[in-house]
Amino acid sequence: MDEKILVTRSSIPPYEEYIEAIKPLWETYWLTNMGKYYRELETELKTYLDVPQISLMVNGHMALELAIQAMDFPEGAEVITTPFTFISTTHAIVRNRLKPVFCDVKRSDGTIDETKIEGLITENTVAILPVHVYGNVCNIKEIQKIADEYHLKVIYDAAHAFGLKYKDKGIGSYGDASIFSFHATKVFNTIEGGAVTFSEPALYDKLYDLKNFGIHGEELVVSVGANAKMNEFAAVMGLCNLKHIDTAIEERRLRYERYQELLKDVPGIYFFADKQGVKKNYGYFPILVGEDCARTRDELYDRLKERKIYARKYFYPLTSDQICFENKYKNIDLRNARQLSKEVLVLPLYEGLEMEQIERICDLVS
Ligand SMILES: *Cc1c(COP(=O)(O)O)cnc(C)c1O
């Protein structure tokens, strides 16, 4: 009863399975640099994610930084994005010497409010960078329409959206590129890892250069690339985890639905809206603590924490409000995002979470 319950727990394959799978590395001595397992995982994920092209990376953040870099935007150009996300989304824009332009989100699902994008477009706008936050799918159709009209690129942060299908297509096949995170805390992990998915075949070579110092052959460097390669131990972890991913998602679904059942009639507790045509991954269980709830979000957070249940205030504060940006964005009208960031609480959800633990958590929330 006294055991800590964290918001998530990493998925790992059976010990023997991983140990067996890494054994060949002691024969080949090939530990990284686009090895056999890297290539195998790239092929398998392309199929699983149902995307035209994929490029594996060392983590989700570098996937996003390099996906942006690959678009060759002029320095100082503007990227319309959401502040209701993990800090990585905003950092990737700023670290590319571009300017984030924060757009408000929708109360209903926390994704970028597509009706407010057009009003933010200037002659310096080059891209839209929305986030499928918690696996809630953005209004892809409207966003693409705006992008087409104004000749903007669309790069989706799909870090929460592993394995999602939307209208029978892999979520990573929309826009000019999408990025995924395979961090230990995500639905699918390679310990640390990530990927860019896209349609344009030429982007594959470009991303390959960007993640490998721009090296072409032994004596030739053609571009100023970074180092963002996925190593073989990570790739093997991915191959092992991928064998169990459908079970893992199914186990999450059962727990997600148990939460819904127990909390659906609790006054003041709300859920994000479901979207038609989405095959979900049940990565997170966020609740919204409304003003009509007996407790505030922070009171609920503390109440759980006192019992060693570590729910998380994802995403509070907004990325635009972080001190690293020195109040630059404090006065922007982001009312829905601000409201959500005060109301949201992500409850523990992972494969091995006991139903009895879920019942206990829900008792505390009620
Ligand atoms: C996890 C995450 C990232 C970064 O991924 P890493 O693999 O941790 O580098 C980016 N965006 C969002 C929304 C995330 O949740």
What confidence category does residue 234 fall into, taking pLDDT thresholds of 50, 70 and 90? Answer: very high
The stretch 156-165 carries a mean pLDDT of 98
160 Cα–ligand 1 center, Å: 8
181 Cα–ligand 1 center, Å: 5
Q: What is the pLDDT of residue 3?
A: 85
Is residue 241 pLDDT above 80, yes or no?
yes
Is residue 2 pLDDT above 70, yes or no?
no
Share of the chain above pLDDT 90, in %: 98
Q: What is the pLDDT of residue 178?
A: 99
Is residue 46 pLDDT above 60, yes or no?
yes
pLDDT 10s digits, 56-99: 999 999 999 999 999 999 999 999 999 999 999 999 999 999 99
The stretch 45-51 carries a mean pLDDT of 98
Name the more confident of 293 and 326: 293
What confidence category does residue 25 fall into, taking pLDDT thresholds of 50, 70 and 90? Answer: very high
The stretch 147-155 carries a mean pLDDT of 98
Q: What is the pTM of this model?
A: 0.98
- What is the Cα–Cα distance from 111 to 89, expressed in whole angstroms? 13
For the Cβ of 105 lying below 6 angstroms from any atom of ligand 1, the answer is: no
For the Cβ of 255 lying below 6 angstroms from any atom of ligand 1, the answer is: no
Residue owning tokens 């992500």: 346
Atom of ligand 1 nearest to the CA of 59: 7
The sign of the dihedral angle between the CA atoms of 338, 342, 344, 346 is positive
Q: What is the pLDDT of residue 182?
A: 98
What confidence category does residue 1 fall into, taking pLDDT thresholds of 50, 70 and 90? Answer: low
361 Cα–ligand 1 center, Å: 26
Q: What is the pLDDT of residue 229?
A: 98
Q: What is the pLDDT of residue 328?
A: 93
Pairing between strand 165-166 and 169-170? antiparallel
321 Cα–ligand 1 center, Å: 18
pLDDT 10s digits, 246-276: 999 999 999 999 999 999 999 999 999 999 9
Q: Which amino acid is at 220?
A: L
| Mean pLDDT, the chain, integer | 97
C-alpha dist (Å) from residue 114 to 4, 67, 123, 169, 274: 40, 22, 19, 21, 17
The stretch 134-142 carries a mean pLDDT of 98
- What is the Cα–Cα distance from 196 to 179, expressed in whole angstroms? 4
Is residue 143 pLDDT above 60, yes or no?
yes
Residues pairing with 285 in the sheet: 347
For the Cβ of 60 lying below 6 angstroms from any atom of ligand 1, the answer is: yes
Atom 7, ligand 1: residue with shortest CA distance = 60
Atom of ligand 1 nearest to the CA of 194: 7
Share of the chain above pLDDT 70, in %: 99
The sign of the dihedral angle between the CA atoms of 124, 125, 126, 129 is positive
For the Cβ of 90 lying below 6 angstroms from any atom of ligand 1, the answer is: no
Q: What is the pLDDT of residue 365?
A: 96
Q: What is the pLDDT of residue 237?
A: 98
The stretch 155-181 carries a mean pLDDT of 98
